[in-house]
Chain A
Amino acid sequence: AQSVTQPDIHITVSEGASLELRCNYSYGATPYLFWYVQSPGQGLQLLLKYFSGDTLVQGIKGFEAEFKRSQSSFNLRKPSVHWSDAAEYFCAVGTLIQGAQKLVFGQGTRLTINP
């Protein structure tokens, strides 16, 4: 069965600093990979996705992620964080079944931004 591990429960970075959130997955085939962000009291917003092709994917809000099959990783990066990036970030792996994506989520990483 597929699984997702986000090793860091909580990360604090200073505004303007670079960011990398780690995600490792376990899946037998080529995975469908996603990063979602959840602000307090809000639903989940899709940041970016990887289905196939170029292993470096660009998302919204200046985020990017790189799929590394050899390391079973899909880490999220941003060169310079803004205070508004403070939120919880979830990595997910999807299984395509009859046209639907069944998602398994990691436990999430809470990002705090220091001014």
Chain B
Amino acid sequence: GAGVSQSPSNKVTEKGKDVELRCDPISGHTALYWYRQSLGQGLEFLIYFQGNSAPDKSGLPSDRFSAERTGGSVSTLTIQRTQQEDSAVYLCASSLTGTEQYFGPGTRLTVT
């Protein structure tokens, strides 16, 4: 079946602009996660959604970052007023309750 998909695959934006990154999880998966992978920081947890529970936003690096998940499926990660340090690969993953996560191919964000 279809895996986790992310769009766009690459995004180049100017400093100060807002960006939206999209994640389509595997159908039926209840949990959805966002991670950031950068050279200096490795793989960092950002946020997760689990069913109807309030999302765990503990990994979001600043209030410029936000995410939502509509209808328990698609999720959008929004970065406002982008900075150069936001340049990274943003990975989305999904899982069934309590099980392993399946990752998408990522969105490479470059802030110029």
Contact = CB atoms under 8 A, between A and B. Distances in A.
Interface of A: 34, 36, 42-46, 49, 90, 96-108
Contacts of A45: 103
B105 A99 contact: no
A101 B101 contact: yes
B35 to A, nearest CB: 8
Interface of B: 4, 30-31, 33, 35, 42-43, 45, 48-51, 53, 56, 91, 93, 95, 97-106
Chain A interface main SS type:
strand
19 contacts: A34-B100, A43-B103, A44-B93, A90-B43, A96-B98, A97-B50, A97-B56, A99-B30, A99-B51, A100-B31, A100-B33, A100-B49, A100-B56, A100-B98, A101-B31, A101-B101, A103-B45, A106-B42, A108-B42
Contacts of B98: 96, 99-101
Contacts of B105: 42-43
A44 B50 contact: no
Contacts of B42: 105-108
B72 to A, nearest CB: 13
A8 B37 CA distance: 19
